[in-house]
Structures are given as C-alpha cells and as structure tokens.
A = this chain, B = another copy of it.
Amino acid sequence: MSGLIAIDWGTSNLRASLLNAHARVVEARSAPGGVMKVKDGLYAPALLGLCGDWIDQGMGALIASGMIGSRQGWKEAPYLHCPAGLAEAASQLTRVQVKPGVDLSIVPGLTCIGADGEHDVMRGEETQLWGAALPPGSCCVLPGTHSKWAWIGSGGAVESFATYMTGELYGLLTQHGILGRLMRFGESHTESFEAGVRLGLDHHANATHVIFSARTAGLMGRISAEGLPDYLSGILLGVEIGSARSATRTLGGSAAAGLTKGVFLLGDDDLCARYATALRLAGLSSTRVDDGATTRGQWLVAQQAGLVRHAS
C-alpha cells in the first residue's frame, strides 16, 4: 500500500482524500457524516459508505484527524501534551478496526496549559499546523467556530495555543439571542465590519459589555439592520485579536516577538480574508497559508509512523 486514505473527520463533516505515493491528492470526497451526525457509534459503516471502494482496492493505509478522536467520537485518542510534533503524534496513534484486517489510525489531539493555568485543547488543527510546516517562533491563527492561536516551536512542533470561542459566540448571539432580532442577514458591509473591529480591539477588556453595542447601534440608527451582522462579527474578531495580542505581550519573550513579525492565517477563504482585515486594523500583518495543510499533515504523520513511504 503505497498511498494514503486521509480522513478529516470533524463535528459536522466527513472528508476523505486519496493520496498517491507522491503525497498528491488524486481524489477527494465528502459527506455530511460528522461526529455529531453519526448515530449509535456506526462510524465504520459511515466511512465504508464514503470510500469503501478505495479500502477494498487497497489504495492505501488509513489515517484520520479531528473530532473523530474525541470522547464523543469513534474512540478517544488521548491528548498529547505540548510541545508536540510529528514524532510524538506518530508514536501515539489510536487504532480502530474498520473491517477485519483494516485499521484506521487516529491522530491524537493536543493539550497545553495556558498562561491562565487552565488546560486548552485542539483536535484536527494540530495536523493542519504540522502540514503547514511553519517556521519556529511564528504564530498561526486558525479562524473558525473555536478559533485557535498557535505558537510554533522548533521542528514545527506546536509549542502552545489558545482557543477563542468567536465563531460559536457569533452563531449563538445571532441565531438565538436578542442581538439577532434587529439584524437583516445576507449583505456584506465592510464599513460596519471595520467599525466593529475597531471597537472590539479598543475594548476587548470589556467584552461582555461591548457586544451589547450591536444592539444599541441598531436601536440608535447608527448601524443599519443590514450592517449589524458584520458589525457584531467585527466586534468579536476585534475582541479576539485585542485579547490575544494583549495576552501575548504579557507572556513576553519569543511569543511576543513572534507576533510583531505578523501571523500566519490557516483556514477557510472567507474567514481568513475577514481576519486579515481585522489583523491589519490591529497593526498586525498576516500571511495566508495555502490550502491542503490537513492532508499534508496527515501524510507526514503517516510517513513518520511508517504507514506510508514517499515514492523515491
């Protein structure tokens, strides 16, 4: 088996990529079979349904990363403690049987202790970060439901990281909360977004107060109903960036120095563009890391574990 069947199995989606012996993606498929959607632990049938033909034809070893390794997933893959790189991940893969004679190796998630003394966790993003092969001392932001700020150590290991609940808060506040009641969705409003970012940056230390401005600015007619979704999005991004920047400065040392060089952005196109704007308003430059980091990271872990060998 010279190729790799690389599975990105998150909360909402299941994605499978077939890589050849040169680590090139030759085919990709996806299904809405995320961890939260698979019932009664029927993970093997879900996977076989998506790419059973690849497995039957022996196209490659199987590796997965993401929430599939969480307690709510197929089997809990114990967290690796930071700093953690490819070698640590390869030596701690969790195996589950897909069918007799075929195992799937699940990449462990990471945990670290933050500056606040509390644990933080990630599952899936560590593999993206390894695949992105970022320089030591750099900082990478992975926007999303739970946005991650990661600091890279020697050899591309993840040194430490911090989670911001930005995406989830935006969803909750707009879909289920009072702020959504004044909003009209669907249009993009750059000016409102930028006004929100500035407000959030300046008042990140007063976050649970400043988000209420997304109501009062509507009530007072300062931001239109169409502009309010982007205004709130801007406030939340500003709060995240202002908080992360300030927490990093408090840490000092290489983390603070890393931030002045700018950050890498890894993730969805639209979200990364949004973050790039917000980071610019915070005086931070950003560099977009190209896509495909997940499958590259999965390949590298599989290679390190001896599951695949790059064709010479």
Contacts and interface: CB of A to CB of B under 8 A. Distances in A.
A210 B116 contact: yes
Interface in A227-244: 236, 239-240, 243-244
A236 B209 contact: no
A177 B216 CA distance: 25
Given A162-B209, A205-B205, A209-B162, A199 B116 contact: yes
A209 B178 contact: no
Interface residues of A, number: 50
A133 to B, nearest CB: 26
Contacts of A176: 172, 175-176
A287 interface: no
Given A116-B199, A210-B118, A243 B164 contact: no
Interface in A196-220: 199, 202-213, 215-217, 219-220
Interface of A: 71-72, 111, 114, 116, 118-121, 146, 162-166, 168-169, 172-173, 175-178, 181, 199, 202-213, 215-217, 219-220, 222, 236, 239-240, 243-244, 246-247
Given A118-B217, A207-B207, A219-B119, A212 B163 contact: yes
